[in-house]
Amino acid sequence: MQNQQQNKQIANPSTGQLPKIKTPEMNERDFINDGLSTCKYLTDSLNIAVREASHDQLYQDFLQILEETHQTSRELFNLMFKKGWYKLEAAEQQKVDQAYQQFSNYSTQFPYQ
C-alpha cells in the first residue's frame, strides 16, 4: 500500500498533441515550458527589484510587473497541467503530517502570538 501511494502522480491525461518522436524543432509544449521557465526567472529577479527599489513610483511599477508575471506563470502552469504536460508527485500523508508538525512548532518562536 505504502509503495503504491509513493508512486502516485497527480496529472491529467496527455492530450496526445505532441509528436511521438522528438525533433529539434520546438513544439507547443516546448514553447509553453520555455515561457513558464522565463516567468519563473523573471519573478525571482523582480522580487529583488521590488525589495530594493529606492523610488516609490519605481517600486509600484516593479510590483505591478511582478504581479502580472506571477499571474502569467500561473496561467502557463494551469495550461500545461490541463494538457497533461506537468505532473506532480503525491506526498505521503505521514510526510505531510511531519512537515505540518515541524512548521507548527516554529510558530512558538514568533515574538507576537
Answer with the residue of higher pLDDT: 41 or 107: 41
Residue 67 has pLDDT above 90, yes or no: yes
Instruction: Determine what percent of the chain falls in helix, strand and coil, rounding each to the nearest 5.
Output: 65, 5, 30
Confidence check: pLDDT of 38 > 90: yes
- Of 64 and 22, the structure prediction assigns the larger pLDDT to 64
Residue 87 has pLDDT above 60, yes or no: yes
Domain-wise residue ranges, the chain = 28-103
Range picked from 2-11, 29-38, 96-105 for highest mean pLDDT: 29-38
The pLDDT value given to residue 3 = 46
Rounded Cα–Cα distance for residues 29 and 89 (Å): 20
Sequence-distant (≥ 6) Cβ neighbours of residue 43 within 8 angstroms: 66, 69, 70, 73
pLDDT score at 22 = 80
pTM beyond 0.75, yes or no: no
**pLDDT for the residue numbered 110:** 78
